[in-house]
């Protein structure tokens, strides 16, 4: 880690004395190189500066990020989501940065939102906000072998006071490097319960098929929850290491909402990735056990389900006058399950807020159904529980409004002495209740087996 007081103060002083400086409570970011890439080891450490941790690891892309603390939070309050998106983009554009590293893609905003942003969180998701974006206090990044640390603070600070924040952060990092924390509290799960039994699940599928026959919907994604009692909160670092090892082509994530509520997972589903004027989203729908992967592209029911998702995504992109091209269908292989994936690419104008595109896509057709409004209405009628952050978007935005957001699926949600696994299945006219039940079990087992190793 580069720790050069004079270099920082000279750069910061030039900024606050320049014509670009506006004497207001704006955010400033300062990035330097870091000779440490094991920052996930701090996840299990209790420290005032290590609260509100959000961690993502994409091993196949050689990317991992950890944000700690909250410098500034953004919430809906009484604003519309459109107004929220506009305000957030405006705030990001006003962030000033000094970057003394070779890394240019530095996330500035991290966070996520509910599967259904209009549904209030209650029951097991109470105390978790339905939307939460924030600027961290410290952000660690390792991207293709370049490790950096970014400090965020207010521009109203004098140079010496600003450097004092950086110096305190660096002292913490020094202690973390010298004393990498290891913990191995195993998780013991007991008292398994299915929230929905097979009979109720089958009845829900029949109800969905009636709606499909009446042309109200083409597809609806129904979910289930399996819950367990746990004796103690486990060590999360080894759990995340196991997820990364077993799902190297997924985005492994960890989000600590508070001391009682934590969600982790390994998601294969990219919702949106914007890089300059390139926009990518993936249709991931239709699955079979990994041993039957070669049957995926010849199964008419699965192809129908997948094509509905592709159509839903393209229709949403068309609402922004975006022309899309689709790659050929491919098979996406995981440890015990395989999916069909189609990559969808578009050119996007910088004037379009990517958060608006994100909102048009979520809940995604792969996780909600098509059309969205009618499918969501059916889900809320059939499911007597909230999905909360399950299947909602999580991700980050950088200073250039480039972003990546993933669907929070294949998750384990810890709430006090309970552990919850969600799984879903897309129902179309030819769906078989027993096969859909087994599909949800496979998806849940993909994470449960790793958690319970």
Q: What is the pLDDT of residue 51?
A: 85
Token code pair at residue 86:
């506009």
CATH of the domain at 228: 3.60.120.10
Residue from 169, 141, 175 nearest 153 by CA: 169
Q: For 250-260, write each residue's pLDDT tens digit.
A: 999 999 999 89
Higher pLDDT, 130 or 156: 130
Q: For 393-452, write each residue's pLDDT tens digit.
A: 999 999 999 999 999 999 999 999 999 999 999 999 999 999 999 999 999 998 988 887
Residue from 230, 148, 159, 135 nearest 189 by CA: 230
Please give the average per-residue pLDDT across 294-300, as a whole number. Answer: 96
Token code pair at residue 448:
């449960």
- In this structure, are residues 276 and 345 in contact, taking their beta carbons and an 8 Å threshold? no
Q: What is the pLDDT of residue 156?
A: 81
| CA pair distance 386, 380, nearest whole angstrom | 8
DSSP 309-335: HHHHHHHHHHTTT--EEEPPPEEEE-S
Q: What is the pLDDT of residue 22?
A: 62
Please give the average per-residue pLDDT across 296-306, as a whole number. Answer: 96
Residue from 295, 294, 351 nearest 320 by CA: 351
Residue 53 exposure: Cα atoms within 13 Å on the Cβ side? 26
Number of domains, the chain: 1
Residue 301 exposure: Cα atoms within 13 Å on the Cβ side? 13
| CA pair distance 414, 359, nearest whole angstrom | 27
Produce one character per residue of 295-311: b if its CB has 16 or more CB atoms within 10 Å, e if not: ebeebeebbbbbbbbbe
Residue from 424, 399, 414 nearest 94 by CA: 399
Please give the average per-residue pLDDT across 314-327, as a whole number. Answer: 96
Residue from 77, 80, 88, 90 nearest 110 by CA: 88
Residue 205 β-bridge partners: none
Q: Is pLDDT at 289 greater than 90 in this prediction? A: yes
DSSP 52-83: S-EEEEEGGGTEEEEEES-SEEE--TTS-HHH
Q: What is the pLDDT of residue 399?
A: 95
Please give the average per-residue pLDDT across 26-40, as a whole number. Answer: 93
Please give the average per-residue pLDDT across 182-201, as a whole number. Answer: 86
Higher pLDDT, 176 or 299: 299
Q: Is pLDDT at 453 greater than 70 in this prediction? A: no
Neighbours of 274 (CB within 10 A): 24
Residue 162 exposure: Cα atoms within 13 Å on the Cβ side? 25
Token code pair at residue 389:
């952050």
Q: For 60-77, write each residue's pLDDT tens digit.
A: 999 999 999 999 999 998
Q: What is the pLDDT of residue 16?
A: 79
Radius of gyration of the chain (CA): 22
Q: What average pLDDT does the chain have?
A: 93
Q: What is the pLDDT of residue 33?
A: 94
- In this structure, are residues 44 and 181 in contact, taking their beta carbons and an 8 Å threshold? yes
User: How sure is the predictor about 385, in pLDDT bands with cuts at 50, 70 and 90?
Assistant: very high
User: How sure is the predictor about 25, in pLDDT bands with cuts at 50, 70 and 90?
Assistant: confident
Q: What is the pLDDT of residue 3?
A: 67
Q: Is pLDDT at 15 greater than 90 in this prediction? A: no
Q: Is pLDDT at 12 greater than 80 in this prediction? A: yes
| CA pair distance 133, 1, nearest whole angstrom | 28
Strand segments (E) across 199-277: 219-230, 251-256, 261-267, 270-275
Residues in the chain: 453
Range of the domain at 281: 1-453
Q: Is pLDDT at 23 greater than 80 in this prediction? A: no
Q: Is pLDDT at 262 greater than 90 in this prediction? A: yes
């Amino acid at each position: 880690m580069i720790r050069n007081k004079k270099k920082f103060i000279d750069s910061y002083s030039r900024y606050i004395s320049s014509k670009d400086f506006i004497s207001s409570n704006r955010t400033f970011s300062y990035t330097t190189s870091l000779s440490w890439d094991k920052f996930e080891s701090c996840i299990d450490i209790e420290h005032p500066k290590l609260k509100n941790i959000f961690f993502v690891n994409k091993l196949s892309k050689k990317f991992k990020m950890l944000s700690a603390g909250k410098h500034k939070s953004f919430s809906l309050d009484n604003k519309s989501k459109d107004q929220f998106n506009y305000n957030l983009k405006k705030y990001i554009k006003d962030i000033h940065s000094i970057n003394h590293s070779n890394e240019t893609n530095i996330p500035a905003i991290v966070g996520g939102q509910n599967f259904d942003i209009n549904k209030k969180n209650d029951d097991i998701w109470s105390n978790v906000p339905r939307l939460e974006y924030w600027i961290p206090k410290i952000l660690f990044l390792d991207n293709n072998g370049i490790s950096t640390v970014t400090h965020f603070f207010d521009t109203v600070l004098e140079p010496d006071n600003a450097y004092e924040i950086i110096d305190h952060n660096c002292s913490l990092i020094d202690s973390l490097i010298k004393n990498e924390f290891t913990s191995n509290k195993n998780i013991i799960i007991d008292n398994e319960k299915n929230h929905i039994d097979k009979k109720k699940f089958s009845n829900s599928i029949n109800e969905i098929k009636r709606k499909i026959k009446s042309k109200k919907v083409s597809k609806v994604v129904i979910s289930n929850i399996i819950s367990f009692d746990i004796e103690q909160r486990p060590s999360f670092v080894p759990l995340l290491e196991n997820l990364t090892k077993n799902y190297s082509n997924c985005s492994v994530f960890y989000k600590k909402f508070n001391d009682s509520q934590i969600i982790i997972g390994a998601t294969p589903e990219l919702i949106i990735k914007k890089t300059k004027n390139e926009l990518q989203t993936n249709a991931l729908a239709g699955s079979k056990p990994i041993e039957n992967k070669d049957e995926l592209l010849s199964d008419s029911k699965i192809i129908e389900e997948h094509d509905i998702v592709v159509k839903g995504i393209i229709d949403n992109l068309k609402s922004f006058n975006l022309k899309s091209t689709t790659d050929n269908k491919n098979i996406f292989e995981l440890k015990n399950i395989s999916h069909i994936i189609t990559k969808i690419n578009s050119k996007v104008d910088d004037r379009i807020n990517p958060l608006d595109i994100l909102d048009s896509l979520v809940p995604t057709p792969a996780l909600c159904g098509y059309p969205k409004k009618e499918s969501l209405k059916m889900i809320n009628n059939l499911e007597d529980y909230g999905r909360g952050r399950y299947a909602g978007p999580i991700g980050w935005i950088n200073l250039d409004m480039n972003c990546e957001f993933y669907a929070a699926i294949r998750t384990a949600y810890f709430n006090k002495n309970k552990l919850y696994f969600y799984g879903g299945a897309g129902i179309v006219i030819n769906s078989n209740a027993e096969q859909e039940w087994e599909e949800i079990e496979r998806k849940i087992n993909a994470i449960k087996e790793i958690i319970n190793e």
